[in-house]
Amino acid sequence: MDQNRRGTVITHPSTTSRPAEPAGAHPAGGAPTLDQVFSATARRYPTRIAVQDGWNQLTYARTDRQAGRLASALVRGGVQLGDPLIVHCGNHRHALVAQLAVLKAGGVCVPAPRTACRGGLPAARQTMARAVLCSRSTYDEDVRGIPSLALDDPATWRKIASAPAEPTLPRSTPEGAAYLLPGRGTDVTGDGRLVDHRSWLRSAADRSRRTGGAPLTVTIDEPPLSPVALAATWWACSTGGTLRTAPWQEDGTWPLTGGHESAAVLTPARYARVLATAAPVRGTPPPRGSAAGPGTVVLIGGPSSRDLVARHFRARPGTRLWAEFAPGGGAVPWTAQELHPHDAARPYALGVGSPVPPVLLRVIGPGGAPLPHGRSGELVAIGPSGLPEDVHHSGWYGHWTPENTLDVTRRRPYADGAGPDVPIRLDEPADYAEMEVM
């Protein structure tokens, strides 16, 4: 795979910690990969639920078995190491099986959520993907010349069952690319980011450590394969937990359900809408992490506002609130901070917190030179080697504060850099829709 053309692999040093993994042992012989961690859990706890998707569910063992069969078919069909494959499924169960299969086959997942693919699958043409793994409801007839496999079609699985098991599986490696994520906009060729297995596991482990432990259940209200759904999926599955998606029947409290062992993952924009409709906890505030709601809410995406923090603690006073600033696909956070009730009363904007190692952040001026504290410029992440091509542009502008945190002031919404700067007023609810970074 031509990494120079498709983007830079986001990695972290091999000496970093691995995820706390109560459900499965690491494979022998070194660092694990995402699919190897999942398979280890499947062997140790085969009947544990991996994904609860409405009324439907998949256990770890069944998911791993289906993914292995699909991976064998992909390899027998000619998929090579590093080949990109589009995953464009209509539900979270098919999406998880497809992602695992691509990783087992040594391919690179190119997630294509429905919301990003109106009018066809541009990623399929941009990446010269070897195949599209989809559902019948997401099949795109405009993608010609690329095989499409509908995972909810019985005929697909009859063909897969006839293929012999591939003895070389799994073919993934810890330092190999796991995902190709779009940067700003939907372009994966110019500003795309290749994220390796170690970085995904590192991100999940860091999130568990920050929030006080791996949750047994991670709840989301997101379409399959969105940036938040990807982050939540691997947070749950890398630690042996369960991913729960929106129920079939309307639930006014979703995703703020469960008890202290659960966590809800949303974007700031989506959480603002949830709080606008969810009933607040009445009477005496329950203990932190009580059954009145999840133990933790994690916001992933753009910056959060003081108003959102105030609304959270009015509605869910016993629930911890963490915010992760995650531009460029939303999977690997650049900064993180825990927000408290007193943050809502600050006389200034909250900012986005401190950098998450090993991410190196800079504020740069028009010429690309780093700016000193207090000077405003674009926020960029620097790859481990520090080479110019390892600079990842966020599209957001801000400055360093004296406390060494980042204060975000505005963003440029155009992927190509054209158009005027758009100021953000983080304490006006009407601007929540503009704050979401996808």
What are the DSSP E strand ranges found in 18-171? 49-53, 56-59, 84-88, 108-111, 132-134, 148-150
pLDDT at 38: 98
pLDDT at 292: 63
Whether pLDDT at 367 is above 90: no
What pLDDT band is residue 346 in, cutting at 50, 70 and 90? confident
Give the C-alpha separation, 345 to 283, whole Å.
23
| 47-75 residue pLDDT tens | 999 999 988 999 999 999 999 999 999 99
193 beta partners: 8, 181
pTM: 0.84
Task: Please say whether the beta carbons of 42 and 61 come within 8 A.
Answer: yes
Please spell the DSSP secondary structure of 165-223, one letter per residue: P-TT-----TTSEEEEE--STT-SSSS-EEEEHHHHHHHHHHHHHHHTS--SEEE----
Whether pLDDT at 9 is above 90: no
Burial class (CB in 10 A: 0-12, 13-18, 19+), 357: exposed
- Residue 434, SS3 per DSSP: helix
pLDDT at 353: 87
Give the C-alpha separation, 321 to 326, whole Å.
16
Name the most confidently modeled range: 93-102, 117-126, 216-225. 93-102
Whether pLDDT at 112 is above 50: yes
96 beta partners: none
Task: Please say whether the beta carbons of 199 and 231 come within 8 A.
Answer: no
341: tokens are: 């009730």
Give the closest residue to 212 by CA, choosing from 152, 260, 279.
Answer: 260
Length of the chain counted residue by residue: 438
Whether pLDDT at 287 is above 90: no
| Residue that is written with structure tokens 């963003």 in the block | 411
Mean pLDDT of 348-360: 84
What pLDDT band is residue 21 in, cutting at 50, 70 and 90? very low
Give the C-alpha separation, 395 to 384, whole Å.
20
Give the C-alpha separation, 45 to 41, whole Å.
6
| 200-223 residue pLDDT tens | 999 999 999 999 999 999 999 999
Q: Which amino acid is at 148?
A: S
Percent of the chain having pLDDT more than 90? Answer: 51
Name the most confidently modeled range: 227-231, 286-290, 412-416. 227-231
